[in-house]
Chain A
């Protein structure tokens, strides 16, 4: 059986690479500055006799500002569709970090939120209510300290549950204002018709409404790889929708 794929997403400097190294035993370089992970690193690990392939995505604050790093992370999640995406958050600045978590949750429901740097947070007197965050997001939330190797087993149990399909998370959707929701409702059936069920229609609708040229061109390039039969119409659709 092929190993399950697990992507690691997160803001810069949240300890993603430390977590990656802890799990895979690879000595990918970690350091206290932003933007190290330019190309995503890969490694493998075994948990309870199940093999996982882990991809360390570049650290980003967002998936929509269209820097090269963000495009790599976004394209991996949307086109490679990993079995599980772990979103690593910095326990000491959750407010900023949750932005990325919400973006990923709009793209895929197969997410485990991993709140790292719990040791740092504790030092600063920050208490993190993981149950409450779990309720509000609708996906498993695990507190860990990658450096001290605490919480890792719980994290991997959750990852395994989602990878095997024994637990299917139901992320709480972000509801936008009436205008936007109306447009999403209009676009969604058209997107399903053209793209099928390969991509999350609501998310694609939001990107089109945001005139996300970068996503549209990635999508167009991806569709060129597909059999020629459905191509024409899909490409034309992308073009009209962005204007």
Chain B
């Protein structure tokens, strides 16, 4: 278990694993993110930032999804020590 405090996906460092805590994106996009696996409790991997720093690729449910900072800054979680789920 980790004791680190909550941070947004936009602030998470590349290569880290984040256990999601809450999604503050609203509307249709919120639904889409939930459908793709951005669900509280799920662990996602921060894969890599694009050359210009945005968007960032995330690994969720075995699929790579790129999110812009507008969305990733509204998704919060905690660092997870390993990718253990």
Interface residues of A (CB under 8 A from B): 61-62, 64-66, 92-93, 95-96, 99
Contact = CB atoms under 8 A, between A and B. Distances in A.
B31 interface: yes
Contact of B28 (A65, A92, A99): A65
8 contacts: A61-B32, A61-B35, A62-B32, A64-B31, A66-B31, A95-B37, A95-B62, A96-B36
Contacts of B35: 61-62, 64-65, 99
Contacts of B32: 61-62, 65
Nearest to B37: A96
A99 B35 CA distance: 7
B8 to A, nearest CB: 22
* Interface majority SS (helix, strand, loop, mixed), chain B: helix
Contact of B63 (A64, A96, A99): A96
B61 interface: yes
Contacts of B28: 65-66
Contact of B61 (A64, A65, A66, A96): A96
Contacts of A99: 35
B37 to A, nearest CB: 6
Interface residues of B, number: 9
B57 to A, nearest CB: 17
A99 B61 CA distance: 12
B4 to A, nearest CB: 25
B58 to A, nearest CB: 14
B31 A93 contact: no
Contacts of B31: 62, 64-66
A90 to B, nearest CB: 10
B24 to A, nearest CB: 17
A72 B23 CA distance: 27
A62 B36 CA distance: 9
A96 B32 CA distance: 12
A96 B42 CA distance: 11
Interface in B9-57: 28, 31-32, 35-37
A99 B33 CA distance: 12
Nearest to B29: A65
Most buried by A among B31, B35, B37, B63: B35
A145 to B, nearest CB: 20
Contacts of A61: 32, 35-36
A126 to B, nearest CB: 11
Contacts of B37: 95-96
Contacts of B62: 92-93, 95-96
Nearest to B63: A96
A87 to B, nearest CB: 15
Contacts of A62: 31-32, 35
Contacts of A93: 61-63
A95 B61 contact: yes
B82 to A, nearest CB: 19
